[in-house]
Amino acid sequence: MEHIKKKVKAIIFDMDGTIIDTEAIWKNVTLDVLKELKGDIAFIEGFKEFHTTLREHNIPTGIATNASESHLQQISEQLKFKDMFGAHIYSIAHVNYRAKPDPAIFLHVAEKLGVKPEECVVFEDSLPGFSAAKAAGMQCIAIKNSINSGFLDTVHEAIENYHHAHAALTRLTKK
């Protein structure tokens, strides 16, 4: 991880479909139902371990999501995001509702983390997110899903889950 730290100063994560497995849920439920389902949202496989490794190596992280502030708050409380990300949990409400593919949310998080955009790597799962990362001047690693398979040529790396994240970061930093 030390060789990665030389080039990557921060990691920014999208939320839905990138760190938590909510893609199927958002198709079928509303916020009211979500409040009742307390145990249905899970982290993407390997995320918690990968995030722990980043923290152990003092690599700052943040969340940048198009989710509404109410969805973000509900999920953040349920999954204890503040324990993982501290205050670096941001929705489009923080950037006057400029949603991805506008790069504003990624640039905002980089500024709050105190790093230059080109020093960040974004983990994303959607074409608007891929486009926003590129427009922000950040490298992007896709979390593969059935919807984004036709757009993976627009990102720097693509992984099935976070068990492959370290290897993807290593490849990025050697380019």
11, 30, 117, 167 from 14: Cα distances, Å: 10, 20, 15, 19
In this predicted model, which residue has the larger pLDDT, 16 or 110? Answer: 110
Identify the bridge partners of residue 90 per DSSP, sorted by sequence position: 64
Q: Where are the domains of the chain?
A: 2-174
Residue 25 has what pLDDT?
A: 58
Residue 110, pLDDT > 80, answer yes
Kindly indicate the confidence band of residue 98, based on its pLDDT and cuts at 50, 70 and 90.
Answer: very high
Looking at residue 51, its amino acid is H
Distance, CA of 56 to CA of 67 (rounded, Å) = 28
Distance, CA of 27 to CA of 128 (rounded, Å) = 18
Distance, CA of 137 to CA of 145 (rounded, Å) = 24
Instruction: Determine the distance from the C-alpha atom of residue 87 to the mean position of all C-alpha atoms in its chain, rounded to a whole number.
Output: 15
What is the percent of the chain where pLDDT is above 70?
90
Torsion, Cα of 27, 67, 162, 154 (10° steps): 90
CATH number of 2-174: 3.40.50.1000
Distance, CA of 149 to CA of 172 (rounded, Å) = 20
Tokens of 29: 């439920």
Give kind and range of the element (H or E) at residue 91.
strand 89-91
Q: Are 127 and 151 in contact (CB under 8 A)?
A: yes
Residue 5, pLDDT > 90, answer no
Residue 38 has what pLDDT?
A: 58
Residue 28 has what pLDDT?
A: 54
What is the overall mean pLDDT for the chain?
89
pLDDT of 8-43, one tens digit each?
A: 998 888 877 778 776 555 555 555 555 665 558 789
